[in-house]
Amino acid sequence: MLSSRAMRSSWVPATVVGVLLIAGTALASLRYGSNTTTDWVTVVQAFTDPAPTEAHIIIRELRAPRTLIGLGVGASLAVAGALMQALTRNPLADPGILGVNAGASLAVISAIYLLGISAPIGYVWFGFAGAAGAAVLVYTLGASGRGGMTPLKVTLAGAVLAALLGSVTASIMLLDERSLDQFRFWMVGSIAGRDPSVAVVVAPFMVAGLVIAVAASPSINVLVLGDDVARGLGQQVLLTRLLVGGAVVLLAGSAVAAAGPIGFLGLAVPHLVRMVTGPDYRKIIFLSLLYGPVILLTADIAGRLLIRPAELQVGIATALIGAPLFVALARRGRLVSV
């Protein structure tokens, strides 16, 4: 574990490295594919050549939207995970704890089963609405009863609702084989084959969520000290919780709607950056914003190359790459409490 002085001095180099890694992984995402790998000259010409070749079209119309969505989804899930860990004061929290994944999953399979919608741009709105609705319901349940909203009540409400919605989703999958075939590709988590219009739809929600997260980060540093301490320091605890919860809904809801429920990122990235930043959520949120896309795009590129010419979806790749790393950190006692 780094000392506080080392943390203060090391997060600036970590920022520079994060920016360079984002640029590098984004360029690599444009270059490498499961079927064809192009050179750097072709990558540049894809955006400058007035007479595009087949390789140029692949880069511009398939890999570029995939890369943009990967950048947004990676940043959104990582920051949402950091916010959830602060909101619940639970170091193992991730966006799924609010029932976001379960709500989005039920809404998407309902759109497929009841309305016959099959294209991602068609059910992205249903995914977002389901995620947002589930989160609002969890907050309502968590705020009911004596004592108002507490981290424990929110966590329990999220777990119960996720189990309930998951059961309904499984029932629909068993009722209709066609819905199962279309839904399972979304459910595994993927940024492949997404139309550019998907990025256009979810981008405003992601940007709004990131802006709220950054703006609320100083208040989050006080909130994690406990509600009583926060109130004693003059903070409006309920307002802060609602702002942070709203940011989680915007970030996780838009990310899950666009790419499906991708695990590991929201859980592990905040822990990785916290080893450098310490408990300061202003820095945790900023570095999570940088390193979430790096890890997601790295996993996506690995998924393209590991079993060529087939492809491993990014939701599987993040689990295969990230789970052993997270277990190793846990065994060494490097996971940092919120």
What are 178-233's pLDDT values in tens digits?
Answer: 666 667 777 788 888 777 888 888 899 999 999 999 999 888 888 887 777 878 87
Predicted confidence band at 258 (pLDDT cuts at 50, 70, 90)? confident
- In this prediction, residues 76-89 reach a mean pLDDT of 89
The answer to whether residue 126 is domain-embedded is yes
Q: Please, what is the average pLDDT of the chain?
A: 83
The answer to whether residue 338 is domain-embedded is no
Q: Are 253 and 267 in contact (CB under 8 A)?
A: no
Task: State the residue for tokens 């998924």.
Answer: 303
Q: What confidence score (pLDDT) does residue 228 get?
A: 78
Q: Is the pLDDT of residue 29 over 60?
A: yes
Predicted confidence band at 146 (pLDDT cuts at 50, 70, 90)? confident
Handedness of CA 29, 189, 318, 243 (dihedral sign): positive
Q: CATH code at 199?
A: 1.10.3470.10
The residue type at 279: P
Can you give 254-299 as a three-state secondary structure string?
HHHHHHCCCCCHHHHHHHHHHHHHCCCHHHHHHHHHHHHHHHHHHH
Beta bridge partners of 37: 32
The answer to whether residue 293 is domain-embedded is yes
The answer to whether residue 337 is domain-embedded is no
Q: Are 224 and 59 in contact (CB under 8 A)?
A: no
Q: Is the pLDDT of residue 317 over 70?
A: yes
Peptide bond into 309 cis (omega under 30): yes
Q: Which residue has the higher pLDDT, 71 or 49?
A: 71
Range of the domain at 181: 4-331
The answer to whether residue 56 is domain-embedded is yes
Please count the residues of the chain. 338
The answer to whether residue 103 is domain-embedded is yes
Q: What confidence score (pLDDT) does residue 182 get?
A: 67
89-131 pLDDT, tens digit per residue, is 777 777 777 788 888 888 888 888 888 777 767 777 888 888 8
Cα–Cα distances in angstroms (integers) from residue 332 to residues 148, 253, 270, 273, 335, in the given order: 37, 33, 17, 16, 8
Q: Is the pLDDT of residue 7 over 80?
A: no
Q: What confidence score (pLDDT) does residue 277 get?
A: 84
Q: CB count, 10 Å around CB of 69?
A: 27
Q: What confidence score (pLDDT) does residue 5 get?
A: 55
Q: Which residue has the higher pLDDT, 73 or 312?
A: 73
294-308 pLDDT, tens digit per residue, is 999 999 999 888 888
Q: Are 173 and 183 in contact (CB under 8 A)?
A: yes
Burial class (CB in 10 A: 0-12, 13-18, 19+), 91: middle
- In this prediction, residues 68-93 reach a mean pLDDT of 88
Helix (H, G, I), strand (E, B) or coil at 144: coil
Max mean pLDDT among 4-8, 40-44, 72-76, 243-247 falls in 72-76
- Residues of the chain with pLDDT > 70, as a percent, come to 89
Q: What confidence score (pLDDT) does residue 284 get?
A: 93
The answer to whether residue 336 is domain-embedded is no
Q: Are 89 and 151 in contact (CB under 8 A)?
A: yes
Predicted confidence band at 292 (pLDDT cuts at 50, 70, 90)? very high
State the total domains in the chain: 1
**Residue 132 to residue 107: CA distance in whole angstroms:** 11
